Structure 1
């Protein structure tokens, strides 16, 4: 394999109609458009999750424990402005576990430059070209995975780089740029604000880590329906260099990286996510079939590769903590691991970018927030049942004595906030007897869904009473770190009207059609190759 075989995925094929790669997709902002920088493309999250699973097996006996701990890179969990609170436990005291996986396109080492090309971008901040949230259900019986395409435009909060101390102001940009604005902790804060989901940990991996882990596992089966060659074309430079005949192949090392970086030959970023999901699912099945406990040498090699490949948030920055985490992930059977891609639409401001697809995206986030399984094998989770039940303790004060602050967070990516909305809802509350309700003139930016917040460990009964009076479901009553009183945050789902609109609660498996769901147990899946890249 030549060094150039994985270089130069720089531009997107031009559209000739149908479901082809479509338009050229340019990075926004300070990254510019076109040229070698377009070569900076996705690093694969799948290898990160592989590392987690391997650590689960390699943890037995804690071989070279201190040495392995020294291999791990660590960083601050959150470096951005985000106050999303941790969810309430279910009746058994369990809470969901959320892990953000980030693939960095960093060229900060000679090895990453060799694998990724684009030497001229070596000193630029890295971008998070692959981002995925793993949601492990509170009962640990199912798991959901959501990928967001790199060019999806979102609100990125104010972030502070934990190493340099540089402060980056809040902005609206494609999500890949968040990694260079304060590290993985800024990307985590961006995701929390976008989804309303508390994220417990993050993990990152770079190009060299992908290759290292692909070699450690010994190869993963992938499949294409036609001969594929992801190469430069007369009208489209770049490409991963992936070349294989139709059918199934075992890939590892740099060839695995080629598979995971390929975009042109599949046709779009969304289809590239599907190829990554297929790789990941095959890898999970491969790991489950292997028994590394009986081979000490192999066990040691896997542990070395895993710890050298990862940088993690500091609260899980040891082999023991990662081992404990992996043991939780291993409880989920493959037929209950569902991988999806966030529903998106073309950005009307820039057709090279995407936006979350309104109701479809919100349905996915609601299922994560309410811990609703992505498959159809589970009923309504205990956490949601408990949230919808009448409060059994912490009784509310009389309505007239409850101080309520109302904030306007009705802005969306395409619409500004509704003028006077906080005051209008405060008047509704006053008319219901909550005479201490008042609007917050400062506003609260943007929230997808209306929530009622209260200080953690206090005033829960008051908050539930306010929610009930407005018709807001009790599952939307949340503890919040940065509030001193009951606060109604009026979201984009209640931009008008005097009564909170009834929201349809998704059922288990009720995913949008355009989420491209795929279960880890599904075998025999193959990628279709975009015609210009067949040979």
Structure 2
């Protein structure tokens, strides 16, 4: 993807046609097709290239052993595009290591709809979109647990309404102001590059992101060809094409069949013909493809062929844009080695729970629960052992006397639908002073939005103080976070504490919400249901 294309002016998403649509019919967002949701119905296209990243990354784990020498290694490295990891001002601190000194690994996988080459244009859509600003139409967070025993994947719908933070392009200094209100998340890519999509995810989820991998249209075609096809299943004959020309063109007989090349892209784009025609159905099909691809790469002995490995390496490195932490074949190989430690049965695919907001969607309370599980490194398959609270490690420095702890109280009670609760900083600062924290002060400079009450601290020497403040107020230890956004112990009163003086920690369970539509990576019996209107 050219850097100039990424930095072009963000186009109106209404000009963005769905490649599954007939260009003459206009964008998929038009007409009477509603957004997808739990109650069915069509929703604007998104996630159609969900799997490109995975083929590329796993291909490179194979390719690492196929490099025939230093010159060839340099040749592959030179083909990998690089872009900065994070373009926003506010970064989420890295997670605290577990008792064994291990930390999770979070990778944001981005599918760009870039149409900046003839190949991408042919695969991607109408002529008038050639060279236009790419959108991040596929966004998936891959969370590899600290102990490397399990992997969780969260897909975010392309039309999720989010606040895009201010992003600065380090190459030319262009500043993209924070969005005025909520806009579609896929527009984040046009605010300086993939580093702004990373910043947007961190802003929404509170999850620290270590790397990103981005692939364009042509990537999924070349990857599928290189691995020899990916088996997929339909429960009836399908032809994704209606009388008005809508559909991806996918045509398959009932049963399980390997798809590759453009047919693989058609599978990933198909909405017309799968289940209720919603984008949730499309995401389900993409998750099935992804699971099958993982098993294929693990089990397909033909990939031991040097020629196939070389072809795979060439195609993978051509397809990728990555952050500097992944800018060589060796780094990608090391990453894929970590990913390969997880058996398919410990991989859980999910879609971010969402609800309608007009023709768009927004995260629900279940989405915040899903984000919390990832932040706390809790496996989405429910097979983790319950953490033992008493094993919590002591802070490096013990807490000072309560009267010596300086605490700043901020108001984070604003939500997307409610104004900030007035007087909360003064009230809670008063509660702290009554408890002996005479150094507590109220920050009245303005309100922010924080779903859960949290105590933040900037450095290890203040961790004990932060924990003591949380303990005094009945705030759980999991809500004590290290952050570079604060200069001292800072209590942010969240939307869960809009009234009263006694904090009541919300009851939490560690079950993956049903609305996340979890799919296990070892499920090789999954088969897409075909809408009878699209059978033959």
Same fold (TM over 0.5): yes
Give the aligned partner of residue 5 of structure 2. Answer: none
- Does structure 1 residue 107 correspond to structure 2 residue 115? yes
Helix, strand or coil at the partner of 1:315: helix
- Does structure 1 residue 436 correspond to structure 2 residue 431? no
Question: Cα offset for 1:363?
Answer: 1.2
Question: Cα offset for 1:8?
Answer: 4.2
Normalising by the residue count of structure 1, what TM-score does the alignment of the two structures yield?
0.90
- Does structure 1 residue 82 correspond to structure 2 residue 82? no
| 1:343-392, Cα deviation, whole Å (9 max, x unpaired) | 11111xxx21111112x11110110011001112211357x775xx3735
- Does structure 1 residue 126 correspond to structure 2 residue 131? no
Q: How does 1:479-494 map to 2 (within 5 A)?
A: 479-494=482-497
Is the contact between residue 410 and residue 417 of structure 1 (CA under 8 Å) also seen in structure 2? yes
- Does structure 1 residue 55 correspond to structure 2 residue 60? yes
Counterparts of 2:49 and 2:504, CA distance in 1: 40
Tell me which of 276, 282, 294 is aligned to 1:272.
Answer: 282
Helix, strand or coil at the partner of 1:442: strand
Change (3 A) 1:272 1:440: same
Tell me which of 96, 101, 104 is aligned to 1:93.
Answer: 101
Question: Cα offset for 1:444?
Answer: 5.3
Give the aligned partner of residue 314 of structure 2. Answer: 304
Question: Cα offset for 1:71?
Answer: 1.1
Tell me which of 16, 22, 42 is aligned to 2:41.
Answer: 22
Question: Cα offset for 1:502?
Answer: 1.9
Tell me which of 169, 177, 190 is aligned to 1:161.
Answer: 169
Change (3 A) 1:416 1:529: farther
Give the aligned partner of residue 35 of structure 1. Answer: none
Question: Cα offset for 1:153?
Answer: 0.8
| 1:416-438, Cα deviation, whole Å (9 max, x unpaired) | 22222222221221111111111
Counterparts of 1:474 and 1:433, CA distance in 2: 20
Is the contact between residue 414 and residue 447 of structure 2 (CA under 8 Å) also seen in structure 1? no
| 1:166-185, Cα deviation, whole Å (9 max, x unpaired) | 22221211111111122111
Change (3 A) 1:7 1:90: same
Is the contact between residue 100 and residue 133 of structure 1 (CA under 8 Å) also seen in structure 2? yes
Change (3 A) 1:20 1:321: same
Q: How many residues were matched structurally?
A: 507
Tell me which of 355, 358, 375 is aligned to 1:345.
Answer: 355
Q: How does 1:73-472 map to 2 (within 5 A)?
A: 73-171=81-179, 172-234=182-244, 238-266=246-274, 267-291=277-301, 294-347=304-357, 351-358=358-365, 360-381=366-387, 386=391, 389=392, 391=394, 393-443=396-446, 445-472=448-475
Change (3 A) 1:19 1:368: closer
Question: Cα offset for 1:15?
Answer: 6.0
Tell me which of 477, 481, 494 is aligned to 1:478.
Answer: 481
Helix, strand or coil at the partner of 2:472: helix
Counterparts of 2:534 and 2:171, CA distance in 1: 43
Is the contact between residue 457 and residue 486 of structure 2 (CA under 8 Å) also seen in structure 1? yes
Change (3 A) 1:301 1:102: same
| 1:18-64, Cα deviation, whole Å (9 max, x unpaired) | 98863564xxxxxxxxxxxx8xx545231211211121121125332
Question: Cα offset for 1:480?
Answer: 1.2
Question: Cα offset for 1:94?
Answer: 0.2
Change (3 A) 1:292 1:492: farther
Is the contact between residue 19 and residue 125 of structure 2 (CA under 8 Å) also seen in structure 1? no
Is the contact between residue 54 and residue 306 of structure 1 (CA under 8 Å) also seen in structure 2? yes
Is the contact between residue 242 and residue 534 of structure 2 (CA under 8 Å) also seen in structure 1? no
Counterparts of 1:176 and 1:5, CA distance in 2: 16
Give the aligned partner of residue 31 of structure 1. Answer: none
- Does structure 1 residue 11 correspond to structure 2 residue 28? yes
Counterparts of 2:393 and 2:212, CA distance in 1: 35
Counterparts of 2:37 and 2:506, CA distance in 1: 35
Question: Cα offset for 1:227?
Answer: 2.3
Is the contact between residue 371 and residue 381 of structure 1 (CA under 8 Å) also seen in structure 2? no
Question: Cα offset for 1:458?
Answer: 2.4
Question: Cα offset for 1:496?
Answer: 2.2
Helix, strand or coil at the partner of 1:459: helix
Is the contact between residue 451 and residue 477 of structure 1 (CA under 8 Å) also seen in structure 2? yes
Is the contact between residue 20 and residue 246 of structure 2 (CA under 8 Å) also seen in structure 1? no
Is the contact between residue 114 and residue 134 of structure 2 (CA under 8 Å) also seen in structure 1? yes
Counterparts of 1:8 and 1:354, CA distance in 2: 24
Is the contact between residue 462 and residue 486 of structure 1 (CA under 8 Å) also seen in structure 2? yes
Counterparts of 2:253 and 2:403, CA distance in 1: 73
Helix, strand or coil at the partner of 2:408: strand
